[in-house]
Amino acid sequence: EDQVTQSPEALRLQEGESSSLNCSYTVSGLRGLFWYRQDPGKGPEFLFTLYSAGEEKEKERLKATLTKKESFLHITAPKPEDSATYLCAVGGNRDDKIIFGKGTRLHILP
């Protein structure tokens, strides 16, 4: 069964303190790994799609990387506006669904 585990559940950082969020997954044939940002009371906002091990994508202070078993979301010199829940999801080749992890709640202190 496809599964996604995110760690840590919550993370508090000082502004400018870089860190990484982890997404471990098991899937029968990876179709894609997806990162989303979600603010309280809103729908998930798309960040990145990664398709194969070794792939990396960047957007502003965020960089996502992918291996055969996990993905990392690296946050460099974060700002308070980066505070949100970051969700990881995987899609397999068996069906068209994507399975989400529970997310990492990130809080950046000014």
Partner 1 sequence: DTGVSQDPRHKITKRGQNVTFRCDPISEHNRLYWYRQTLGQGPEFLTYFQNEAQLEKSRLLSDRFSAERPKGSFSTLEIQRTEQGDSAMYLCASSQSTDTQYFGPGTRLTVL
Nearer to partner 1, 3 or 18 (CB): 3
Query: What is the smallest separation between the CB atom of 57 and partner 1, expressed in angstroms?
Result: 12
Nearer to partner 1, 76 or 85 (CB): 85
CB crowding 31-52: b at 16 or more within 10 Å, else e? bbbbbbbeeeeeebeebbbbee
**Which amino acid type is present at position 85?**
T
Nearer to partner 1, 37 or 78 (CB): 37
Q: Between the CA atoms of 10, 99, 76 and 51, what dihedral angle is there, to the nearest 10 degrees? A: 160
Query: What is the smallest separation between the CB atom of 12 and partner 1, expressed in angstroms?
Result: 17
Query: What is the smallest separation between the CB atom of 22 and partner 1, expressed in angstroms?
Result: 15
Nearer to partner 1, 17 or 55 (CB): 55
Name the residues that contact partner 1, by CB under 8 A.
4, 31-32, 34, 36, 41-46, 49, 87, 89, 91, 95-103
